[in-house]
Structure 1
Amino acid sequence: MTSSTQLAHGEAPASRPAKKRGNRAPAFLLTPAGIVIIALVVIPLGFMIFTSFTDFSQRTLFTGEFDFVGLKQYQSVLTDPAFYAALLRTFGFTAALVAGSVLAGMGVAQLMTKLGGVMRYLVIFVLIFAWAMPNVASSVVWKWLFQPGYGVINWLLTQLHVFGDMTNTSWIDNTWLAFLEIWLLVVWQAVPYIAITLYAATTQVDQSCIEAAQLDGCSKLRCYWQIVVPLISPSIMVITMLSIIWDFNVFNQIWLISQGGPQDTTATIGIFTYKKAFVSFEIGTGSAASVLVTIVLLALTSVYIRYLLKSGEDL
């Protein structure tokens, strides 16, 4: 049937299917981010995996020569007692950091609910300022505070007349004191984000539940632990999982304060890997250790993602 026949019978001419427009817009918008991810994540990760199967070393940097050694580097890492000591130290230090930062953040968040408007905003401003301070700057200033001879912390502890004369005490020369100094720094940096997040969650709690419990004779402390904490537990779980991932990766603070000393007793897995690759220049071995650490972090991240999916959170 021709077009003239269609018009004679009052039928509309068949129209061509409209072209889909805008289907390239998402790809166009995602391209810059994709290029950055490829440049900063995919390529370095691929190179790391590649070098973990070679004898890449300082010699390779000058001559470009290297040999494929298969799984030899992984065998070297997995048979090194220092690797397991650093891994165990990392898990213990991570647990201490997560416990300290989450509990301190919960405490600060609860205190913020008791403050007036002006004071609360002032506290939030101070917390954001502390949280936004770069790790390197914070670590350098922190090291000065604990410096023997003129450190403010040593002077204050000496004035308390409880620990004796600590003026010339070198914190980084003692394993436990060095860990304590680093622990205080990392917790101080983590508390602002945790406190503000949990404060926001606490403000969403239905106050009628707390008021009803208090009318029944429930103390404020008991109301907090038995009513508020269960209601904000999803936020606490997310914060805890994120803290585990972040604290497992702590490197700058440890390296700038103690460099893993004394005698590698504060060396976590990040310090172990860095020293292998960039101090001993066993780059292949360091890459193999980094791949193993990446696998551990992927496992931790998968737990976090599964929890978000299970709880219905929007990624």
Structure 2
Amino acid sequence: MAISFQDYGLRAIFTGQAGFAGFTNYTNVLTDASFWPVMLRTVLVTGAMVIGTIGIGMAVSQLLTRLGVVMRTVVSVVLVLAWAMPNVASSLVWQWLFQPFYGVLNWLITQLGVFGDHTQDNWASSPGQALTIVLSLVIWQAVPFVALTLYAAQSQIAPEYYEAGALDGASAWAMYRSITLPALVPTLLLVTILSVIWDFNVFNQIWLLTKGGPEDTTLTLGIWTFVKSFVSNAYGQGAAIAVISTLILGALTSYYIRRLVRSGEEDL
């Protein structure tokens, strides 16, 4: 944080001395023509990642409740392995899957013979496709945590509620809406806040797959911080962007903590 108030550039790295800049770095960042487009893009990309993660995670957790012991164990192990995979390694696997000429996905689409020859299709060169591969990778990595957490919460719901609903003739959807969802609200709020924090700060996956391109389609605050600091050598401005991101996430976290405290007071 101290660097955000200093005139810290390439010269400061060699001399070890950086002058005090006050709020100049923050002013430069906030008045930069790229700031608000990057901020809006970060919010939209984060929202898409969170919605996809929570939606698929809820579906997978519901699936786990309907599987037998053996299949549930197998699926749970697969989810844990996917979640435990380092994001750098998974990003490299994603590069290989979507690689032109040798990519598995391009080969598979071409073999289907429905969409023509896509062996030379470079997903990272198209804004829509680049965003698709980034979103799919992040969501794929995040779904296991959400699914297993929601499944654990759902397994704590007393079966008597479902038995009473069945006796009343309620459908599966009605019981899910009136019994399961209300019980999952605290856990859903928790995993949503955590997903927002993680997805807002996504860096490795975007940098390794697209480096913020093409046409700045995947240029988020995390990528912009890196570019400002280590490409433009404006370390003070990069630190200012990081502080602004932390303040935004701090506000979201404080909202969750207030909700948690209020719910605890109501229980008392």
TM-score under structure 2 normalisation?
0.93
Structure 2 partner of 1:122: 74
Counterpart residue type for residue 111 of structure 1: L
Residues 108 and 195, structure 1, Cα contact 8 Å, conserved in 2 = yes
Question: Does the residue aligned with 1:81 lie in a helix, a strand or coil?
Answer: coil
Of 88, 91, 107, the match for 2:43: 91
2:176 equivalent to 1:224: yes
In the alignment, which residue of structure 1 is the partner of 2:234? 282
What's the CA shift string for 1:89-147, capped at 9, x where partnerless? 11001111111001111111111111111111111111111111111111111111111
- Are 1:134 and 2:134 matched, yes or no? no
Paired residues in the alignment total: 265
Q: Secondary structure at the match of 1:52?
A: helix
Structure 1 residue 262 corresponds to structure 2 residue 214: yes
Measure the CA separation in 2 of the matches of 1:58 and 1:263. 27
Contact 2:107 2:118 in 1 (8 A): yes
* In 2: Cα distance, 1:307 partner to 1:182 partner: 32
Moved more, 62-71 or 290-299: 62-71
Other-structure match for 2:145: 193
Distance 1:86 1:207, change over 3 A: same
Distance across 1 between alignment mates of 2:169 and 2:114? 40
Q: Report the residue type matching 2:150 in the other structure.
A: L
Q: Using a 3 Å threshold, how does the CA distance of structure 1 residues 156 and 221 change in structure 2: closer, same or farther?
A: farther
Unpaired segments of 5 or more residues in structure 2? none
CA-to-partner distance for each residue in 1:193-219, whole Å, 9 max, x for gaps?
A: 111111111112233322333344332
Q: 1:296 aligns with which of 248, 251, 256?
A: 248
Deviation at 1:165, TM superposition (A): 2.3
Q: Is the 8 A contact 1:242 1:304 kept in 2?
A: no
Check whether the contact 1:106–1:195 (CA below 8 A) recurs between aligned residues.
yes
TM-score by length of 1: 0.80
Deviates more, 1:164-173 or 1:136-145: 164-173
More helix by share: 2
| Cα RMSD for the two superposed structures | 1.6
Q: Do structure 1's residue 153 and structure 2's residue 153 form an aligned pair? A: no
Aligned counterpart, 1:210: 162
Pair 1:178 & 2:122 matched: no
Q: Distance in 1 between matches of 2:189 and 2:25?
A: 37
d(CA) in 2 for partners of 1:205, 1:70: 54
* SS of residue paired to 2:6: coil
